[in-house]
Homo-oligomer: A and B are copies of this chain.
């Protein structure tokens, strides 16, 4: 039974997990969907009420019946490396690859359908509320009037991107920025703004959830530092225990979202209270593992290699 890792060639985080899978004696196949067709060959056959599929990479063959789990790490676009790449070839190749993988009942970290929904920030906030997290008041709006009204109500608010950096320019720094009610809100009409009440924090918290295992890390913030991702604070990440109430909410959230892996960001305020900021279903964990020594890559490897942890994708209405 083989673990399939969908990721690009250069991915040191995947390398860490592959090393753990080798230690555990679990067979691994690594595929960048960008290499299909080409380095990889696919075949799926639907006949007589049954289904069989194969994937081969560099001559090694994986049968769908022998697939234990799929880890969707940092996959390239299907067919992106093809000699005659095109949007259509990508669409056709996506159909063949993901259609075949969806036809089985393997376990996913994370299933693309759940990952897509979990990326939606407004959905995250709703799910966080329903899971019992404390969430700073937030508004998404294209109305300059409502944006200003929100800033007047909360006095100190941050503005950030909902979808992340602009595609095509992922290196553009886009730090969360503190603004006040006197800012110019006219630009909000040109594109939705995400405004959130500013939490004056004494630390950033990164909580990595691998199925039922939680790894929390804390990094002391500089006074008045708004976005902990940019700039050196002079502090490092240190392991920290998870408050019981927060742990309960994390378990509720990942069950609701259908995620086997999730990285949560919290702001620890001046009273030590943790505020939910966001949940990244494919958040990095390498930097946390390196600084804290928490065995996150091992936890990921164990989950992927496990015989029966959790159920695979369900075919509704079938026994």
B45 touches A138 (CB 8 A): yes
CA distance A116 to B189 in the complex (A): 30
- Number of A residues near B (Cβ < 8 Å) is 75
Write the A165-193 contact mask toward B (1 if CB under 8 angstroms, else 0).
01110000000000000000000011110
A12 within 8 A of B: no
- List residues of A (129-146) whose CB comes within 8 Å of B's CBs: 129-130, 135, 137-143, 146
Residues on B with beta carbons closer than 8 Å to the beta carbon of A99: 120-123, 140, 162
A102 shortest CB reach to chain B, Å: 5
- List residues of A (111-131) whose CB comes within 8 Å of B's CBs: 113, 116-117, 119-123, 125-127, 129-130
Write the A65-97 contact mask toward B (1 if CB under 8 angstroms, else 0).
000000000000001001110111101111110
A123 touches B102 (CB 8 A): yes
B315 touches A256 (CB 8 A): yes
The dominant DSSP class at the A interface is mixed
A44 touches B100 (CB 8 A): no
A122 with B102, Cβ < 8 A, contacts A42-B192, A129-B46, A166-B88 known: yes
A139 touches B48 (CB 8 A): no
A265 shortest CB reach to chain B, Å: 16
Q: Point out residues on A near B: beta carbons under 8 Å.
A: 36-37, 40-51, 79, 82-84, 86-89, 91-96, 98-100, 102-103, 113, 116-117, 119-123, 125-127, 129-130, 135, 137-143, 146, 150, 161-164, 166-168, 189-192, 252, 255-256, 258, 315-318
